[in-house]
Structure 1
Amino acid sequence: MSDLYQYFQNNPGRLIHKWLHYFPIYEHHFARFRNKPVTLLEFGVFHGGSLQMWKQYLGPQAKIIGVDIDPQCKALEEEQIEIIIGDQDNRQFLADLGNSIAPIDILIDDGGHRMSQQIATFEELYSKVAANGVYLCEDTMTSYWNRHGGGYRNPNSFIEYSKNLVDLLHAWHSKDQESFNVTPFTQMTDSIHFYNSVVAIEKAPQQPPSHQKTGTLSFSN
């Protein structure tokens, strides 16, 4: 049993609500940040339990920031944990937030789960994630729910939006430089991971890909 999942199962603190299959995903993407001076930003405070979990998991050097629209969440602040009250639908709030706390090593979007919120948060804050940080949007099953602004193959859903990011990841190889060119996303993104109800995007500075040949020819023609 991993440290993170063990903490969750024996939770001594505030209420946490998580899908169980998320824990291996968290471990895969967050383990490298443990016991380092990192900043984690999580949208969606709920009862504050997950913020306590990240604090315990990442260690005493971590700065944990939670964002929620509910003013009563401010009372959940404690050592290493800061709560910021704001509206995830407000792009100006998101932009100001990013400017005030960047660089963000880990960003978790577990907020309102509406398509407008998930897309606005990504567009305003992905550039504020550290050069080798990770951006994780969870509960993306709402991309298939009409009441959240989604729906199967709805072009306005976060899943369909993320599929377009896959194209940008490959823009180095475009033969149509006018309509499909390298973007800042291409230059700063290492990989995109799709899981059941989670999209995780790993950042790392990228150079134009190169290739080479080694070894001897097997055939003369």
Structure 2
Amino acid sequence: MNLTDLADRFGSDKGASKHRYAELYQMLFLPHRGRKLNFLEMGLQIGGPEHGNSADRQTTDAPSVRMWLEYFPKARIFGLDVSDFSWFQDPRFTFLRCNMDERENIRAAAEVLPELDIIIDDASHASHHQQFAFLELFPKLASGGLYIIEDLRWQPATYERPGITRTGDLFRIYSESGVFRHSDPAMAAEFSALRADISGCFVFQAHYNKSLRDQVAVIHKR
């Protein structure tokens, strides 16, 4: 089963018509298709507060969730979003509503989640949201698990905090030097404390074009 075909069928922006992430994910995830794994995606439909809309907007679809449920027939899929997707019903799907602008909300969500095998952050793309999520959720990742952060090139003006190190820069520098550098020394120390559990990290460019800016970070847990 080709994941790009599924993405296009369900209308996910991970497919051929936009980001092409499904090509990368097909390579990474194919060996895990038949496993009884726990999979979390943050950000379930385009058009949330990062685009100026209300968090209480009416949601109408969860294309990536439908894609993952079909691609991983034995997996439990968990979805996290600032908007309400509790209407989406499937025996293998669990929804958690979470405003990621406050770190304690992510911590509370992490406490009710099981150990996870794959995590994808496709939420607001604000740097502090991505970084708070990584610090709270990477410890929930099983050994050998994958943590993926999408859309590193774009941060929403509605959320982005001035002066914070961008997540793309944070992981690109780490992938090149093995050192986490951050404008906030306390955050740098927290990321550095996780280094012993990171066995590998790479950053892909948009459409695999090295002349373009960072797009996707993939972190593998030891």
Compute the TM-score of the two structures, normalised by the length of structure 1. Answer: 0.74
Q: Is the 8 A contact 1:41 1:67 kept in 2?
A: yes
Give the AA of the match of 1:185: L
Cα distance, 1:165 vs. partner? Answer: 3.2
Match of 1:89 among 78, 81, 101: 101
Give the AA of the match of 1:16: S
Dislocated runs of 4+, deviation >2 Å: 8-11, 15-21, 145-151, 163-171, 182-186
Q: 1:72-118: CA deviations, max 9, x gaps?
A: x1101312111111111221221122222131111000001111111
Q: Is the 8 A contact 1:139 1:198 kept in 2?
A: yes
Aligned to 1:158: 167
State the SS of the aligned residue for 2:86: helix
Aligned to 2:33: 34
Unaligned runs of 5+ residues in structure 2 are 46-60, 181-188, 206-214
Match of 1:56 among 46, 65, 70: 70
Q: Is the 8 A contact 1:98 1:125 kept in 2?
A: yes
Instruction: Show the 5 A alignment for 1:14-33.
Output: 15-18=11-14, 19-33=18-32
Q: For 2:193 and 2:5, how far apart are their aligned partners in 1?
A: 39
Aligned to 1:191: 200
Cα distance, 1:55 vs. partner? Answer: 1.0
Q: Matched residues, percent identical?
A: 20
Distance 1:87 1:135, change over 3 A: same
State the SS of the aligned residue for 2:87: helix
The answer to whether structure 1 residue 67 and structure 2 residue 80 are counterparts is yes
Q: For 1:162 and 1:183, how far apart are their aligned partners in 2?
A: 12
Count of matched residue positions in the alignment of Structure 1 and Structure 2: 186
Aligned to 2:92: 80
Q: Is the 8 A contact 2:175 2:202 kept in 1?
A: no
Q: 1:125-155: CA deviations, max 9, x gaps?
A: 1111111100000011115x7665389xx65
Q: For 2:177 and 2:93, how far apart are their aligned partners in 1?
A: 35
Q: For 1:165 and 1:77, how far apart are their aligned partners in 2?
A: 39
Instruction: Show the 5 A alignment for 1:172-211.
Output: 184-196=193-205, 197-204=215-222
Q: 1:152-211: CA deviations, max 9, x gaps?
A: xx652111222353377479xxxxxxxx9x95423211111101211111112xxxxxxx
Aligned to 2:132: 120
State the SS of the aligned residue for 2:194: helix
Q: Is the 8 A contact 1:64 1:80 kept in 2?
A: yes
Q: For 1:41 and 1:9, how far apart are their aligned partners in 2?
A: 20
Higher relative contact order (CA 8 A, sep 6+): 2
